[in-house]
Copies of this chain bind each other. A is one copy, B any other.
Amino acid sequence: MIILDYQDRRPIYEQVVEKFRILIANGALSPGSQMPSVRQLAMELSVNPNTIQRAYMELEQQGYIYPIKGRGNFVADRKDIRRITRIAYYQELTKLVTQGRELGVEESEIVNIIRNCYREAGEHD
């Protein structure tokens, strides 16, 4: 379900968070469905259960999942997911674009980069 990249310099729990954010945001994990249990996922990834615990905590705080006592963790509702995803993404992008302005990068250059990303990705599909 998830593959870790040990060359990645980020902490493992952060990678786990990011992978699930994507799986949840693009619908690969449907709203309301159950998340893999902490122990099971830890075993699959050969990782310390604390690490998965930490990742789930983060996902819960960000609103992607919610726990039910004694039953496990579940994917949040579609609307909530969409909302938080957009807000978080909007903030990050705004920050980076503002930074670009400070560095003297022109609007047209940035737009070009984006169009390229989408065009290239489209070709792979």
Count of this chain's copies in the oligomeric assembly: 4
Q: Which residues of B contact A26 (CB under 8 A)?
A: 102-104
- Interface presence of A31 (CB below 8 A): no
Is there contact, CB below 8 Å, between B117 and A69? no
Q: What are the residues of chain B within 8 A of A105 when measuring CB–CB?
A: 85-86, 89
Given known A-B contacts A6-B68, A111-B111, A117 and B103 have beta carbons under 8 A apart: no
A3 within 8 A of B: no
Could you tell me the dominant secondary structure of chain A's interface residues?
helix
Count of chain A residues with a beta carbon within 8 Å of a chain B beta carbon: 44
Chain B residues within an 8 Å CB radius of A110: 93, 114
A33 interfacial by beta-carbon distance below 8 Å: no
